[in-house]
Each structure stands twice: as C-alpha cells, then as structure tokens.
Amino acid sequence: MTDVLQLLTDRIRTPIGEMLIIADEDGNLRATDWSDQEARMQRLLRLHYGEHGFRLEPDRNPNGLADAIGRYFAGDLKVIDGLPVETGSTPFQREVWRALRGIQCGTTVSYGELAERIHRPAAVRAVGLANASNPVGVVIPCHRVIGSDGSLTGYGGGIERKRWLLEHEKCAPRRAGGKKKHDKQS
C-alpha cells in the first residue's frame, strides 16, 4: 500500500489576492497559488503526487511558512530565498526551478537566458513549459522571467499580479520615459 502524503494548507491575504500555501509535515513548501486559481493548483498536485497520493488538511501557519511569505509581501523580499521547497517533478523541471531561484530579486531574465543558465540553450520551449508548471509561485520566482523583448508574458496568476510582483521587487520592465512595454499573454 502506498503512503498518502499529508499536506497542510493555509490561506493568507496579500495585496494581490488570497494566497494558498501547501506544506508537508516536514516543513517544506509544496505549493502556492492564488485562491482564484485553486483548480489549477489541485490539478498540479494530482499531476505531481497522483490522484490519491496526497491529502489536504487545514493548518494555521504551517512551519512558519505563511508568516514568512507574509513578510515578503510586507517588504522583506529576501525572506523567500531560504524557504525550504520540496516538489514532485521531473529532474529537468527541478533544474529549471533551481535556476529560477537563482534569479536575483530585482532582476529579470528571458526564457532564452534561463535556458542558457542551465546549459541548454536550445531548450527554450521546454524551459517555458517547466516555468509554467512551477507549483511554488513567488517563492520559486517564475514571475521574474519575461519575454526576450522585455515584455511581460504569461503568468499563471495573471499579468497584473506579475506586474505587481515585479514592481514590488523594483524590476518591472519599462521603456525610456517610464512607460511600460506592451504586455502579452502566452
């Protein structure tokens, strides 16, 4: 018989909506998402852990993770850098997600640059797919990846949230004169 992974859930208010936080009993962050994207998060959890491979239990501030993420939204931007993360994923996805965590707060990279960082310059599309399947948004900062032309591109939580996160981190792309570049969904 296979063990069912016990996952603890909490919800926190942020300036850009309610965030769901999923942690394991060992204190590792397993997933984050926005309440209005809960169905997508459930789908990703089933993909990573199997249809019946996990059970969600409400908890308050599991292992201090909710408080830490709350501090990030309050301005302590570095607090997310050291949060423990454990995900069910492929080795390639984990490689991309490690590279995402290496993007300095206050900076952005393109998908092509991210592919180069993992020494797979031809894998731009695969990097994009791994980025899109990141179950731990904000902490694994997929919002720091932008289009090669500097435009904001797709973000699971929506372009406005991505824009807010980049503004919060002071790295939103801008044209000369302070106007934002054209945004596009992908």
Please confirm, yes or no, whether 105 is among the known catalytic residues: no
Active-site residue identified among 142, 145, 152, 166: 142
pLDDT value of position 173: 55
Does 42 share its domain with 74?
yes
Range of the domain at 71: 5-82
Residues 131, 92 contacting (CB under 8 angstroms): no
- Phi then psi for residue 37, to 5 deg, are -115, 25
pLDDT value of position 156: 85
The number of folded domains in the chain is: 2
CA geometry: angle 57, 48, 72, nearest 5 deg? 65
Which residue, of 42, 60, 82, is where some domain finishes?
82
Contacts of 24 (CB under 8 A, 6+ apart): 5, 6, 7, 8, 30, 86
pLDDT value of position 47: 85
pLDDT value of position 175: 34
CATH number of the domain enclosing 126: 1.10.10.10
Bridge partners of residue 13, in order along the sequence: 18
| Token pair 């309440």: residue | 35
Does 124 share its domain with 75?
no
In order along its 186 residues, the chain shows pLDDT tens digits of 468 999 999 999 999 999 999 999 999 999 999 999 999 899 888 888 899 999 999 999 999 999 999 999 999 999 999 999 998 889 999 999 999 999 999 999 999 999 999 999 999 999 999 999 899 999 999 999 999 899 998 888 899 999 999 999 986 554 333 333 334 333
Residue 29: what residue type? L
pLDDT value of position 178: 36
- Whether residue 183 is contained in a domain is answered as no
Residue 186: what residue type? S
pLDDT value of position 186: 35
Element (H, E) at 71: helix 65-73
